[in-house]
Amino acid sequence: MSLTHITRFSAVLQEHLKISVILPDNLPNKPLPTIWLLHGLGENGSCWYRFTTIENLATQYQVAVIMPNVYRSFYMDETNGLPYWTYLTEEMIPELRRMLPLSTLRNQNFVIGNSMGGFGALKFGFKHPEWFSAVAALSPAVNLSDIIPIMPDISRVFGPSLPKNYLENLALAAPNDQLKEIQWYRSIGDHDFMRDSNDHFTDFMNSLGMNETYSVTPGDHDWTFWDNEIKKVFAWLPLSSIN
């Protein structure tokens, strides 16, 4: 596989950002199934290829993997900062699809994230269910109050008061028939500090009739857990049927 770093100027953010991309060495004569892989709080896209076997998985399944950097933004248009959500949805994704051989088909696009990135993956699925056929959230931050102890700058992103039930409200506003067409995967370690919130979030997903796999296995909120989980996610994704 080829690991490429694209540094480009964002007109939305008015700064240069780096995007890491994994592509097959021998590109096929058709667009590639694409995984949009989101990082967690205090990290960047490089963590996925530094701390997991993502390159080996991409080789095995012959997919493109896109790893953007959004700093501590929680995949939001920050209240007192920069519009990272607008950057991702209106600039980065469309432009990368023009630059690279990435499929635009819903059944060949998947979004995965860990921790803050798990929040981002769920947000993508709820805001744009027409874009993705599968969403995987590993140890996701589903209750923003869980983040307060580890994010002293949280008001920069969300303002003086945290929105309550943010993800739930996105899901309730989305077309339920489209949400039901998505395959959802969510996992948490049994010693993760966000486990209780994720257990409760399962009740909400079930109330909407979602096609969700929820997995609780031994582990904590760390890369040992996420490296193991990303292997499970690739095996779970419907990649064999489209390659």
Q: Which residue has the tokens 């700093």?
A: 71
Q: Where are the alpha helices (DSSP H) in 66-148?
A: 84-86, 93-99, 116-127
| Under 8 Å between Cβ of 226 and 121 | no
Q: How confident is the model at residue 241 (pLDDT cuts 50, 70, 90)?
A: low
The pTM is what?
0.97
The DSSP 8-state label assigned to residue 48 in this structure reads H
| Under 8 Å between Cβ of 64 and 32 | yes
Set out the domains of the chain in order of their start, with CATH numbers: 2-236 (3.40.50.1820)
Helix (H, G, I), strand (E, B) or coil at 71: coil
Q: How confident is the model at residue 1 (pLDDT cuts 50, 70, 90)?
A: confident
Average pLDDT over residues 106-111: 98
Q: Which residue has the tokens 């869980």?
A: 146
At residue 110, what are phi and psi to the nearest 5 degrees? -140, 145
| Under 8 Å between Cβ of 48 and 21 | no
Compute the mean pLDDT over every residue in the chain, rounded to the nearest whole number.
96
- Predicted confidence at residue 240, as pLDDT, reads 72
Query: Of all helices (H) and strands (E), which one includes residue 198?
Result: helix 195-207
Helix (H, G, I), strand (E, B) or coil at 213: strand
155-175 residue pLDDT tens: 999 999 999 999 999 999 999
> How much is the CA Rg of the chain, to the nearest whole Å?
17
CA dist., res. 180 & res. 53, Å (int): 30
In this predicted structure, the answer to whether residue 243 has a pLDDT above a threshold of 90 is no
CA dist., res. 199 & res. 214, Å (int): 9
In this predicted structure, the answer to whether residue 242 has a pLDDT above a threshold of 70 is no
170-224 residue pLDDT tens: 999 999 999 999 999 999 999 999 999 999 999 999 999 999 999 999 999 999 9
CA dist., res. 137 & res. 113, Å (int): 5
In this predicted structure, the answer to whether residue 38 has a pLDDT above a threshold of 90 is yes
The DSSP 8-state label assigned to residue 151 in this structure reads -
Give the strands of the sheet with 109-114, arranged side by side: 2-10, 15-23, 64-67, 34-38, 109-114, 134-138, 183-189, 211-217
At residue 78, what are phi and psi to the nearest 5 degrees? -65, 140
Instruction: Please tell me the total number of residues recorded for the chain in this structure.
Output: 243
Burial class (CB in 10 A: 0-12, 13-18, 19+), 83: middle
Structure-block tokens of residue 53: 């076997």
- Predicted confidence at residue 226, as pLDDT, reads 98
> Cα 187 from chain centroid?
13
In this predicted structure, the answer to whether residue 138 has a pLDDT above a threshold of 70 is yes
The DSSP 8-state label assigned to residue 23 in this structure reads E
CA dist., res. 33 & res. 211, Å (int): 21
In this predicted structure, the answer to whether residue 82 has a pLDDT above a threshold of 80 is yes
